[in-house]
Structure 1
Amino acid sequence: MGKKKASSHKFLALAAAAAIAVPAVSPAAVSAKEHSFKDVPARYTEAVAYLTNNGITKGLSPSQFGTNVSISRVDAAIQLAAALGIDPQGTYKNAGFKDVPKRGQWAVNALAEKGIISGKAAGLFGAYDAITRNETARLISLAYKLTIDETVKKTPFTDVNAQWAKYVDALVKSGVTEGKTSSRFGADDHLQRGEWALFLYRLAHPAAKELDLTIMHTNDTHAHIENAARKVTAIKEVRKAKPNNVLLDAGDVFSGTLYFNEYLGQADLNFMNLVGYDAMTFGNHEFDLGTKPLANFIAKAKFPFVSANVNFTSDENIKGLVTGGIAAAPKDGSVYDAIIKEVDGEKVGIFGLTTAETVDISSPGAGVMFEDYLEKSKKTVASLEKQGVNKIIALTHIGFKDGGGDNDVTLAKEVEGIDIIVGGHSHDLLKEPVLDTTGKEPTVIVQANEYNKYLGTLDVKFDKNGKVIGHAGKLIEIDAKGEDGTYILEDDPEAAEILATEYKPAIDAKKKTVVGKTAVALNGERADVRTKETNLGNLITDGMLEKAKTINKEAVIAVQNGGGIRASINEGDITLDEVLTVMPFGNALAIMNLTGAEIRAALENSVKEVPGQFGGFLQVSGLKFTYDSSKPVGERVKTVEVKKENGYVPLVDTESYVVATNTFTAKGGDGYSTFGKAYEEGRVSEPGFVDWEMFRDYIQANPNAAPELENRITDINQP
């Protein structure tokens, strides 16, 4: 569908909020929307329209804006506070001025509290005095945080003394004004309403320029912090080389290793705070334990969160941390729909999305609602564009081509105005950025795989209208080693010390924890799991299928590649360390919709190497099949049966079946092209539960397990 991009007349607003409400200038004041002003010359037309259309001020009468009328200090304060997005209903410290009328008290108090404005004497603001151009220069410089050179004592203007020079200098260099003449600023002249409108308009619409931006990004790290010290080094090196940068995380910090089990995300957060993330969105696994651990995570973060489609209004744990809307000055530990980040003087909008699958694959609770991601994206992009932001990043946890109902590819095609999608959830290893050219302007999609294996980097060049005109992406491998076998990236000393002293000792001890017991030895020998049915393969796939059924009750089959099973387990107690040794890769659950014919083709791929070993040999649950290893490859599978409520029934090629596996296999790993095709066609959902955790939970729920060989896989060519 067609997409709509911000017009070239929209630049980067310095205003700090999306919605602005301001009291009327006077009881008779009338907005520009309702009447035409007869005293607004062409020079001021756009500026007056900007102020009136955004509710910053109104005309003095239906036909008079008051362009040449001096503006009072209190009215300047009201309009400035509105332009900055300060809430008129907010609570602010009383500045103690006795002469400020009620309609302006909120603005004066708020600006005074921020150190932007001051009075003329103790208790006296000078509310009805006309504001001078000198005073205006100081007010604007402080309010908009212009670069103030404290060494400036003199300007080209002969009427500006040393007291005001640095503020006038900042105002001129920002492009707001050039002075009344080359030698006269009009320092003590009263500021007129038309001039004030022009100043505020220019501050909200600075001259556009090209921008080179580097985005560092991570996703689905899942508590893999053993290499945190090297990751910190990588981030610092990129920042040193590319000063125009942002650092973003696309969710699923929670769940996956013992570090999460022990610290509930706080260990990960310590390193994220240390390195200074700019924003994060929520993954589905952030809700695995309800919202209380997530609330603690948010509250202690030294960065903001963006989430446009997750509604926390009814959640008791998180709703107090949600500010919502769009923030140009976001607070740490707060949740917004979007934030505006200033980079090299340009504004970059960042908004967040989380997969609606979270309701089914995690535990957000009844108080958390997930709204339509396309609808919310369109509204958020429109709000950012309304504020003049034309460089927009969607920070998403919906999957690249995930079949769960929402994904990045669809987002890029359906919503115009998004320049970059930094994604997560599907654990995709996008070695090169993917460019979508469906709409009027391109959208770049990136994702950095999983488990802190990579730091994603994307270099983007924007033209002055916010269009991507160049890009290059690279994944920095955190654990890459040189020829001598040592890590290329050195440990950051501070991060390494934190890991070694604060977190690792407890994890090493936890690995010794007994999580279950087996009454028989569990066979995970390499030569066996890659060539035939084993009791450990049966136990693992049974656990996978049971978990899949809690997500999709139609799931009937589970398959596990033998290459993902790395060791056996002796009879007796099972420790966490043994579980992690058996399944060290942390592969995540995927649920596929396949035809019987596709399953049959996959089984042919599974047995193609027998009697030789093959890492893609499938251990199975909910399935029995026979094959003949003496037959040509592709013609070996003889019979296939699926377990239903009343026993095993023949597989029907034309019927559809719900099959659980891991994401590696689901995306076509080990030559499973039928699975890969299903993934490309959006028939694969990725709830993301980690293999070793599913296995641990299953053996805990089934004490003294004694799995046997059940003739699930039979080579009729073998005795």
Structure 2
Amino acid sequence: MMHSYKTALALGAILLGSAGLVACGGGNGTANGGNSNPTPTPTPVAFSPLEINIAHINDHHSQLESFAAQTLKLDGIDTQVDLGGFARVTSAFKEAAGKKNLLKLHAGDALTGTLYYTFFKGKADAQLMNTVCFDAFALGNHEFDDGDTVLKGFINELQAGSCKTPVLSANIEPAAGTPLLPAAGQALFKPYTIKTYEGIKVGIIGLTISGKTVNSSRPLDSTRFLDEAASAQRYIDELKGQGIRHIVLLTHQGYENDKALAAKLTDVDVIIGGDSHSLLGDFSALGVASSGTYPSMVKNKDGQTVCIGQAGEYAKAFGLMNVKFNPQGAIEQCQGQASLLVGGTFKRKDANGQFVAMSATDQATLTSKLASVPAVKVIAPDSAAATLLSGYTSKVNEEKAKQIGSTTDALCLVRVPGESTNRSAGVTGCESANTLARGSDIAQIVAEAFLDASKRSQIALQNAGGVRVPVAAGTLTMNTAFTILPFTNVLVEMNLKGSEIVQALEDSVANHLDNKQSDGSQPYAAGLRWDLDMSKPAGSRFSNVQVRDRKTGIWSPIEANREYILVTNDFIAAGKDGYTALGKAYAEGRYINTYLLYTQSFADYVQKKATVTRPLRSEYSHQKVTTKAGVLLP
């Protein structure tokens, strides 16, 4: 049986060198290696203690600008701030540069989400990332949204400057002669990279969520996505064979998957993750929910501590983890913080309930108080990064500035009703959106827009993950539309029986509850509503499914054998995100491609309405919702 490398080290330690690694000695067996000989005893090895600091972000999704007018509870009072922005991220990394043995990581999904990606296909992102000069970047699923060729351009741009950031994924194998592997031995990314601190090597292995990338993005069919755990262990063992004792996994597969993965692997020390957009840490004083502690502490297969970190989304937060290893190679201490990055200009409500700028004296006092609140970091944008960004900003401002309408209500973003993370945190009016049965306001509005665009359809369907951001009350612009719906999907109209539509709903929820794929598959619809009980077995979760008559507005039970016309985006129509029933109908040719760009359809709907409001509660697709734990949501 193979013993854990670090467990073996702990059996006995003799200091052989202050920093260098010493190979284990051979045994006393005979030349022919007969089985009767006793197993050679490895020479005990000891190392100097090591301390590293890991600075990290994840899932910035082309969100290079900051978020204005975000509400946080600062010093106990609702306060509007300027939140995030990549230039602030750059400042945070530069501020951390004095930390001992700094490792700078990005856990994937740099791409897709704003006009900076729509227009520049990763060039702007890569150049802003190079102002940080990451030590490693893990490929995320959204790096494949426009296929391997666009990803190649992004990687080339990321490595065009002096940084030469290593791009990692241990479980992706492109075919030779394709964009990511133009020729043998010339892959644009690699499974791992190695950093050396105080003469001691640290291995960083990249992982990309497999099923979700294949089902939810557009990699080439020839690009293989392998099992995450098997791939991780393969390269952990390879690094161990090189005498490397410290292993950091840089993953893009989600917080819960990271915790589960740790228990399957030997010799992993730290996991820095992305994909689930999980903000880890205690942000309750700021009025912001989180998904777990920072760092989260679990055990690996050896029974040794693994420290897990993740830092939210959209360049809003910055994670910094301090890890100390003992002379036997195990973690002795792990601590740190993810911090929300905010500007130094604050607004609070006046006597009329309007947010107005605080006085200079009050702002200075508040800034001083916040210096002792680790969950928030007041920081100015890096000037060089801001200047670089401004060159791109000027090119998109004209399009972004085009007003298409307004909304009187905050349109909150939720994937699965009852989820632990409030994806709309900081948007006034969305403080408890994730706890309500109705779910996502903005996904509901998007579905209504699609139904309006399709003159033939009775029903519109949209997957939750395709709708990217919440919307604050106020003006809606073209930038709003492209940020909500940043992909290049078109609308297709499908001919489906009522039974197939219900099966598609069941498929979509089973995709994340049972198949452990993306919860972005959660369905939202216009002209269709239901009761959902996620505590029931697959195939029996949806009940009281009703269809709204497009002319009369009257709701009636869906008929299993009646044919309906359903409009949706071409992505889930083709069966992606687990919509198996839709994929079958699509493969049979039971659809018409309208060639309507879904983003433009949303913009047209807003322009037509002029003012958008939340639908009546009776019009929401989610009527009654019971969580997986059996809790009936309000």
TM over 0.5: yes
Name the TM-score, length of structure 2 as normaliser. Answer: 0.56
Tell me the distance in 1 between the aligned counterparts of 2:125 and 2:481: 22
Deviation at 1:14, TM superposition (A): 7.6
Mean alpha-carbon deviation: is it higher for 488-497 or for 358-367?
488-497
Tell me the distance in 1 between the aligned counterparts of 2:464 and 2:384: 44
Deviation per residue, 1:57-87 (Å, 9 max, x gap): xxxxxxxxxxxxxxxxxxxxxxxxxxxxxxx
For the pair 1:713 / 2:598, whether they are aligned, the reply is no
CA pair 310-542 structure 1, distance change in 2 beyond 3 A: farther
Deviation at 1:275, TM superposition (A): 2.1
For the pair 1:371 / 2:226, whether they are aligned, the reply is yes
Deviation at 1:297, TM superposition (A): 2.0
For the pair 1:465 / 2:328, whether they are aligned, the reply is yes
Tell me the distance in 2 between the aligned counterparts of 1:232 and 1:709: 37
**Structure 2 equivalent of residue 696 of structure 1:** 599
Deviation at 1:279, TM superposition (A): 0.6
**Structure 1 equivalent of residue 574 of structure 2:** none
Tell me the distance in 1 between the aligned counterparts of 2:441 and 2:166: 48
Unaligned runs of 5+ in 2: 23-27, 34-39, 66-84, 282-293, 347-361, 368-376, 413-428, 431-435, 453-459, 487-506, 514-522, 532-542, 561-567, 569-595, 624-634
Which residue identity does 1:506 align to in structure 2? Answer: K
CA pair 555-381 structure 1, distance change in 2 beyond 3 A: farther
Q: How many residue pairs align between the two structures?
A: 428
Tell me the distance in 2 between the aligned counterparts of 1:433 and 1:533: 29
**Structure 2 equivalent of residue 196 of structure 1:** none
Deviation per residue, 1:547-599 (Å, 9 max, x gap): xxxxxxx98886999x9443477xxxx85145379899xxxxx9644999xxx
**Structure 2 equivalent of residue 265 of structure 1:** 122
SS in 1 for 2:103: strand
2:306 to 443, 456, 467: 443
Deviation at 1:316, TM superposition (A): 1.4
For the pair 1:358 / 2:213, whether they are aligned, the reply is yes
Which residue identity does 2:329 align to in structure 1? Answer: G
For the pair 1:223 / 2:62, whether they are aligned, the reply is yes
**Structure 1 equivalent of residue 447 of structure 2:** 541
Give structure 1 regions of 4+ aligned residues with deviation exceeding 6 angstroms.
9-15, 527-537, 543-546, 554-561, 580-584, 644-647, 700-712
CA pair 323-434 structure 1, distance change in 2 beyond 3 A: farther
**Structure 1 equivalent of residue 380 of structure 2:** 490
For the pair 1:342 / 2:244, whether they are aligned, the reply is no
Deviation per residue, 1:218-253 (Å, 9 max, x gap): 10011122222222221111111x131110111000
CA pair 231-383 structure 1, distance change in 2 beyond 3 A: same
**Structure 2 equivalent of residue 119 of structure 1:** none
Tell me the distance in 2 between the aligned counterparts of 1:257 and 1:344: 41
Deviation per residue, 1:155-191 (Å, 9 max, x gap): xxxxxxxxxxxxxxxxxxxxxxxxxxxxxxxxxxxxx
Deviation per residue, 1:462-515 (Å, 9 max, x gap): 112221110102113222547518882123222222222x2221121231468x
**Structure 1 equivalent of residue 171 of structure 2:** 309
**Structure 1 equivalent of residue 31 of structure 2:** 35
Is contact 1:322–1:336 with CA below 8 Å preserved after alignment?
no
Is contact 2:280–2:310 with CA below 8 Å preserved after alignment?
yes
**Structure 2 equivalent of residue 621 of structure 1:** 526
Unaligned runs of 5+ in 1: 16-31, 38-44, 51-204, 325-332, 402-406, 547-553, 585-589, 597-617, 627-638, 653-659, 661-692
Equivalences for 1:636-715 in 2 at 5 Å?
A: 640-643=544-547, 648-649=556-557, 696=599, 698-699=601-602, 713=618
Which residue identity does 1:360 align to in structure 2? Answer: N
Equivalences for 1:523-542 in 2 at 5 Å?
A: 524-525=408-409, 538-542=444-448
**Structure 2 equivalent of residue 211 of structure 1:** 50
Is contact 1:13–1:347 with CA below 8 Å preserved after alignment?
no
SS in 2 for 1:239: helix
CA RMSD in angstroms, aligned pairs only: 5.2
CA pair 581-269 structure 1, distance change in 2 beyond 3 A: closer
Is contact 1:310–1:371 with CA below 8 Å preserved after alignment?
yes
**Structure 2 equivalent of residue 244 of structure 1:** 101
CA pair 317-344 structure 1, distance change in 2 beyond 3 A: same
CA pair 543-317 structure 1, distance change in 2 beyond 3 A: farther
Larger Rg: 1
Deviation at 1:393, TM superposition (A): 0.5
Tell me the distance in 1 between the aligned counterparts of 2:389 and 2:147: 27
Tell me the distance in 1 between the aligned counterparts of 2:204 and 2:217: 25
Is contact 1:545–1:557 with CA below 8 Å preserved after alignment?
no
Which residue identity does 2:57 align to in structure 1? Answer: T
Which residue identity does 1:214 align to in structure 2? Answer: N
Equivalences for 1:148-187 in 2 at 5 Å?
A: none
Deviation at 1:265, TM superposition (A): 1.5
Is contact 2:295–2:309 with CA below 8 Å preserved after alignment?
yes
SS in 2 for 1:436: strand
Q: Which has the higher contact order (CA 8 A, sep 6+)?
A: 2
Which residue identity does 2:59 align to in structure 1? Answer: D
1:508 to 383, 386, 397: 397
Tell me the distance in 2 between the aligned counterparts of 1:274 and 1:237: 13
**Structure 1 equivalent of residue 350 of structure 2:** none
Is contact 2:446–2:462 with CA below 8 Å preserved after alignment?
no
% same residue: 26
For the pair 1:398 / 2:264, whether they are aligned, the reply is no
CA pair 643-250 structure 1, distance change in 2 beyond 3 A: farther
Tell me the distance in 2 between the aligned counterparts of 1:347 and 1:559: 39
Tell me the distance in 2 between the aligned counterparts of 1:358 and 1:383: 26
Tell me the distance in 2 between the aligned counterparts of 1:246 and 1:366: 34
Tell me the distance in 2 between the aligned counterparts of 1:306 and 1:534: 34
Tell me the distance in 2 between the aligned counterparts of 1:4 and 1:645: 64
SS in 1 for 2:131: helix
Deviation at 1:371, TM superposition (A): 0.5
Is contact 2:251–2:271 with CA below 8 Å preserved after alignment?
yes
Tell me the distance in 1 between the aligned counterparts of 2:97 and 2:323: 15
CA pair 352-323 structure 1, distance change in 2 beyond 3 A: farther
**Structure 1 equivalent of residue 481 of structure 2:** 579
Equivalences for 1:561-576 in 2 at 5 Å?
A: 564-567=470-473, 575-576=477-478
Tell me the distance in 2 between the aligned counterparts of 1:423 and 1:509: 36
Which residue identity does 2:270 align to in structure 1? Answer: I
Is contact 2:463–2:524 with CA below 8 Å preserved after alignment?
no
Which residue identity does 1:641 align to in structure 2? Answer: V
SS in 2 for 1:507: helix
Tell me the distance in 1 between the aligned counterparts of 2:411 and 2:311: 33
Mean alpha-carbon deviation: is it higher for 642-651 or for 217-226?
642-651
Which residue identity does 2:198 align to in structure 1? Answer: D
Indicate the structure with greater strand content: 2
Mean alpha-carbon deviation: is it higher for 471-480 or for 355-364?
471-480
CA pair 568-355 structure 1, distance change in 2 beyond 3 A: same
Tell me the distance in 2 between the aligned counterparts of 1:297 and 1:36: 54
For the pair 1:430 / 2:280, whether they are aligned, the reply is yes
CA pair 694-420 structure 1, distance change in 2 beyond 3 A: farther
SS in 2 for 1:274: coil
Tell me the distance in 2 between the aligned counterparts of 1:534 and 1:372: 32
CA pair 437-545 structure 1, distance change in 2 beyond 3 A: farther
Is contact 1:309–1:373 with CA below 8 Å preserved after alignment?
yes
Is contact 2:114–2:479 with CA below 8 Å preserved after alignment?
no
Is contact 1:511–1:575 with CA below 8 Å preserved after alignment?
yes
Tell me the distance in 2 between the aligned counterparts of 1:288 and 1:349: 28
2:316 to 453, 456, 466: 453
